[in-house]
Chains A and B, each alone.
Chain A
Amino acid sequence: MSTAAIAHETVPSHWQHRHLLDLERLTSDEIRTLLDTATLLKEATDGCRRKLAVLNGTTIVTLFFEASTRTKTSFALAARRLGADVVDFSASSSSLSKGESFIDTAKNLEAMGIDAVVVRHQTPGTPHLLAQHLSVGVINAGDGPHEHPTQGLLDIFTIKERLGDLSGITVGLVGDIAHSRTARSNLWGLMKLGAKVILCGPPTLVSDRWRELGVEVSHDLDAIVPRCDVLNLLRIQFERQNTRPFPSVREYAHLYAMTRDRLKRAKKDLLILAPGPINRGVEVTAEVADCPQSLILGQVANGLAVRMAVLWLTCGPRAAARTGGESSSSATRIY
């Protein structure tokens, strides 16, 4: 595939999905296609700054049942860069607060002739439920602690931009694995692309049961830091916990925060990611967050590229069908 392919609005024929619900059920080839497409779109849009017209006439709804600034904005920008119309459906001001079920709400939106829903919800599986009940595309923007596929993809995209091939590299996912959708999406994506994954945190947040999937589990950050090529520092999700899984933030930071001392024992070219919003001083100290190895802001920028890829792959065929292929030769659509 080339930039020309994007201009010609032809989604690769081996991409068969109308939805993006999770990374667990994608093949490694499909994940590569997503990442390659993100690279092409990043180039074709001059680093996500210019617009394409490949989703002209497409309407995408962002349906967020949980607070979000970065993800929703990123999806909306990505959709507009591809020429789609974006409507934000604010769950709190809607009839949901009048007791309507979320499926009925989504069906109402569908009846308005939209093409895809980007959904965030606090309950795992909610995007899957919508995909069963709606005929439009469903893109998971985070379902509870289950998955956040575009965040996983953009983390992997960011690593791949720096390191190239992922096979054989060691990635440590550190922190609140129990409540982290980002951890799960990273885990599947990284494993499928051949990286070695280490999950690290206290046993109350990192179950030994993860080993059954073939990943390494460690409760000792100091022991794994020297072996890692990448560290992804996951936020402690205080809001999802019944009982606090560690005695105090101070103790957690003492055992698991990425500090300058720990950085000294790491490989020289260690990459540091944090999907944010970060709690400075808890998962990572300010000096490490802002150090040269930190890709934290680069991650945010790559979010656009990855989300453009997801939107184009899932909505592109529908958009192309609507224009009847009449634009198939118009390279001028890149403007």
Chain B
Amino acid sequence: MATLLIRGGRVVDPSQGIDRIDDVLVRDGQVVAVGLAGAQPIGKADETIDATGLVVTPGLVDMHVHLREPGREEDETIETGTQAALAGGFTSVACIPNTEPPIDTQAAVEFIHQKAARADACNVFVVACVSRGREGKELAEIGQLVEAGAVAFSDDGAPVYDAELMRRAFEYCRMFDKPILAHEEVLELSRGGVMHEGLVSLVLGLGGMPAAAEEVLIGRDIALAEVTGGRLHAMHVSTGGGVALIREAKRRGIRVTAEACPHHFTLTDESLRGFDSNFKMSPPLRTAADVEAIIEGLVDGTIDCIATDHAPHAREKKMLELDRAPFGILGLETAVGLSVTRLVNSGRIGWPRLVEAMSTLPAKILGINRGTLRPGSVADITLIDPNLSWTVDVSSFRSKSVNSPFHGWTLQGRAVATIVGGRVKYRLG
């Protein structure tokens, strides 16, 4: 029986209320115990990791990742994307189904599972389409997709535009207790836009995407979640108004959760002044006030979790005029550094809240048996050096693409080891 002992780290596991210096013992891919007092004597472990000075967390879960396969393997593949996840400290990702073809059949879900197994990196959980072909016209075969293993439903990349279809999706998914991950955008309001509508877009003459485009649809979906009892998960919330709507909905007991992306609590629309398409994503970078509102939402729990919206695009696609370049940036390999730097080391949140936002809650929202170090749970574990100062270098990324706006940034905090099912799948250096 293979044993792994992680010694002397700061174990942070919000699912059990643990935050203390302790050991973690793993046997045969499962957590035996945090602390050796409760464990059977093991003699000498097969492998021991000295975690002194490191934070030991249940494996991080990114519930919003575009792996691009099938269909756009020039941007990313399941293999390169899951390798990037490991390097970023993620033991699990949920992949979004806006592939070509979209993931809306059992066979497509099966394809992802097989590719992920072959890649043998991190866990891949499949988010399947709400609507057949992501066309927004009729429901996909949600029941069969659930049987195939889909953990949530989303037409991300685009909103579910027909309000009645969205209502039916909420109602129908309720019987499987699956959330709908919603891309919130009124397309008529953001048409032709490449960045947040504000003073900067005005000065640069670039088409604007107003905050209202996001907030109007968040408002609609909250109302639909309320009337149906369905589960709404608002993806990549970027505006202060959106945070306020979700806070109020939660207060009223509506089943809504939300995520924010590291770039939305780090950068503002001022970044577009250099006309660099690596700052173009949807929803767009907003104002300093929005950044602050997102952070407050993360502090008070209105925003449940941090997700990256990892969106690789091959270099030649991004090296175009700003209106022709696609939306989206990489996220997996910078998420920990940005979150630790912007949120933890700046004193806005503590480690337990960060681990909750990057592991416990995304696992809970997706209903997957991850995000905990309880005895008997799958031994997905991330070791983070909270003080490691490092410089982002896209040429060292494991992702197939390099479209990160953070190239050259110095960040604090980095995953130094990523353990999946008790096996060390990644070690820094």
Contact = CB atoms under 8 A, between A and B. Distances in A.
Contacts of A102: 320-321
A117 B270 CA distance: 28
B400 to A, nearest CB: 20
Given A145-B205, A147-B205, A128 B275 contact: yes
Interface stretch (B7-15, B27-35, B92-100, B195-203): B195-203
B323 A123 contact: yes
Interface residues of A, number: 27
A101 B325 CA distance: 11
Given A101-B316, A103-B319, A242 B205 contact: no
B206 A124 contact: yes
Contact of A124 (B198, B205, B316, B320): B205
A126 B321 contact: yes
Interface in A124-139: 124-126, 128-129
Interface string A195-215: 000000000000101101100
B245 interface: no
A146 B206 CA distance: 7
Contacts of B199: 209, 212-213
B364 interface: no
Nearest to A188: B203
Contacts of A121: 321
A119 to B, nearest CB: 11
- A128, A147, A181 pick with most chain B CB within 10 angstroms: A128
B298 to A, nearest CB: 28
Interface string B308-330: 00000000100111111000000
Contacts of A212: 199
A32 B321 CA distance: 31
Contacts of B17: none
A209 B206 contact: no
B192 interface: yes
Contacts of A146: 204-206
A24 interface: yes
A212 B287 CA distance: 14
A103 B317 CA distance: 12
20 contacts: A102-B320, A103-B319, A121-B321, A122-B323, A123-B321, A123-B322, A123-B323, A124-B204, A124-B322, A125-B275, A125-B322, A126-B322, A129-B275, A145-B205, A145-B206, A146-B206, A147-B205, A184-B205, A242-B191, A242-B192
Interface of B: 191-192, 198-199, 202-206, 274-275, 316, 319-324
Given A124-B205, A181-B205, A213-B199, 7 more contacts: A102-B321, A123-B324, A124-B206, A125-B321, A125-B322, A144-B206, A184-B205
Which 8 A-B pairs rank lowest in CB-CB distance, beginning with the nearest? A125-B275, A145-B205, A146-B205, A123-B321, A124-B205, A128-B275, A123-B323, A124-B206
Interface of A: 24, 101-103, 121-126, 128-129, 143-147, 178-179, 181, 184, 207, 209-210, 212-213, 242
